[in-house]
Amino acid sequence: MVRYAKEAENPAKSVKARGFHLRTHFKTSREVAQAIKGMHLRKAQKYLKDVVGKKQIIPMRRFMGGVGRHSQAKAFNTSGSLGAWPKKSATIVLDLLKNAESNAEVKGLEVDSLVVEYIQVNRAPQMRRRTYRAHGRINPFMCSPCHIEMILTETESIVAKEDDDAPKKKSKKKEARARARLGAE
């Protein structure tokens, strides 16, 4: 059995999916993972399909050197409206979500109520190639693959919050204003 970096709080109500040595950039995969963290499974799948079709964008928050500015990124309130459409990373994460969905079906969980509770992207060992430079020199030409692991958890139906009978605390200033309004009337 493969060890995950984090164990699910309720293993009976959660499913896992994982990919090793994935040939996609670590940095873009990390941004894709952060974009779908906390989303429902169906919403995350639709979002990533829209990213592949360039209808929605992935906001670039940490690894943003040389990333262009796009008006779609304004919706995410990123600094400088930086965003990209990492097609390869999005399709790989989409495949992992599909794998987690099939794991949930086998386990007998409700697929429509799954939420991406945990997702982690780690750097994998770099793969080495070479590129030929001027004057007979050779430089390394490395790729940055990654490992991705995720845990999806089945959530219970949303319960309405009950009203508290205890009065809410008000500041002294608000209480004084309320007394002044009552005294003026």
For tokens 């945990």, name the residue: 118
- Res. 111: pLDDT tops 70: yes
Q: Where are the alpha helices (DSSP H) in 11-157?
A: 26-36, 41-52, 87-107
- Residue 117 has a pLDDT of 95
Rounded to an integer, what distance in angstroms lies between the CA atom of residue 104 and that of residue 89? 23
8-22, 126-140, 168-182: lowest mean pLDDT where?
A: 168-182
CA 68, CA 177: separation in Å to the nearest integer? 50
Asked if pLDDT for residue 1 goes beyond 70, the answer is no
pLDDT over 80 at 179, yes or no: yes
* pLDDT single digits (tens) 44-58: 999 999 999 999 999
| pLDDT value of position 185 | 66
Percent of the chain scoring above 70 in pLDDT: 93
pLDDT at 159 over 70: no
Rounded to the nearest 10°, the torsion over CA 143, 33, 67, 20 is: 0
Predicted confidence at residue 14, as pLDDT, reads 95
Query: Alpha-carbon dihedral of residues 6, 8, 14, 19, nearest 10 degrees?
Result: 10
* Mean pLDDT over each residue of the chain, to the nearest integer: 92
Report pLDDT for 182. Answer: 85
Query: Residue range 79-89: average pLDDT?
Result: 95
Query: ∠48-54-56 over CA atoms, to 5°?
Result: 60
